[in-house]
Amino acid sequence: MTADRPLLAYFGHHKCASTWVHNIVNNFCDEAGLRSDYLANEGMFGGDLGGWVREHGTDFLCYANADIEQVRGLPPFRGFHMVRDPRDIMVSAYFSHLHSHKTEAWPALVEHRKRLQSVDKSDGLMLELDFNADVFREMASWDYAQENVLELKMEDLTPDPLNGWMEIFRFLGIVDEEHFGKRRQAGFMMRSAVNVLHRHGRLPLRFPLPALPAERLLGIVHDNRFEAKTGGRKEGQTDVKSHYRKGVAGDWKNHFEPEHVAAFKERQGALLVQLGYEDDLDWTA
């Protein structure tokens, strides 16, 4: 973050592809010579997000459980915010919390996992409705009218990631769309290599770049596609113990029973309408 350039930021929520986004942001910052920081909860920044970012000189912030009250304390920024169908969040969280999500920095998950392991899937989903209440609250209270924030749905980004990410990169102002000829390629590769070595402590200097060539940005997105992260498994093929479990939208319909539909309508039905996932409460699995 410099005086002539605003902070770049991604704002997400639990089980809204934050790991995927963070990997892409990290790859970009490696090559651009920028500092990226991933923060998941208030404990990681002492309850003062703006102060933490200023103190650490963050260039690109990934705030994975975004609370709008913390965001209001940030220095000038330009960013993007992504939501997901809350019903898919609930199902994804169930399998992740049951099998794969790390517990080191999340003591509450240790006890929650024990409870999930003691009940069947139907009861486990009901437990997730309670356990994710804070996630849904943060989504409901978010300010969706910020001119400096691009609003996205995960369901729109994941089917066409190359075009979707180019929209994000352009909004952030980090795309160099000039012709990427051989002379420019050589200069970029040299600076990029120095930046990567600096990031890993191999060199003391770096060459911060205001933007990366469009070709390289698309390459970063391609390198982080679902198949690459799962060893060749395609979207829609399930591995319940993988962080990248299935990769398709609407999976809640395969797991919700009538009691889950009724409970979700009562507890979070208004959120579905607010986010545009339903027109009203007259929906079913």
Tens digits of pLDDT across the chain (285 residues): 555 789 999 999 999 999 999 999 999 999 999 999 999 989 999 999 999 999 999 999 999 999 999 999 999 999 999 999 999 999 999 999 999 888 887 889 999 999 999 999 999 999 999 999 999 999 999 999 999 999 999 999 999 999 999 999 999 999 999 998 888 899 999 999 999 999 888 888 899 999 999 999 999 999 998 776 555 435 554 555 444 445 578 999 999 999 999 999 999 999 999 999 999 999 998
What would the pLDDT profile of 72-82 be if each residue is shown by its tens digit? 999 999 999 99
- DSSP element (H, E) containing 143: none
Enter the tokens of residue 23: 């990997």
Q: Which residues of 192-222 are buried (b: 16+ CB within 10 A; e: fewer)?
A: bebbbebbeeeeeebeebebbbbebbbebbe
What would the pLDDT profile of 118-148 be if each residue is shown by its tens digit? 999 999 999 999 999 999 999 999 999 999 9
Going by C-beta distance under 8 Å and a sequence separation of 6 or more, which residues neighbour residue 182? Answer: none
Assign domain 7-275 one CATH number from 3.40.50.300, 3.40.1190.20, 3.30.420.40, 3.40.980.10: 3.40.50.300
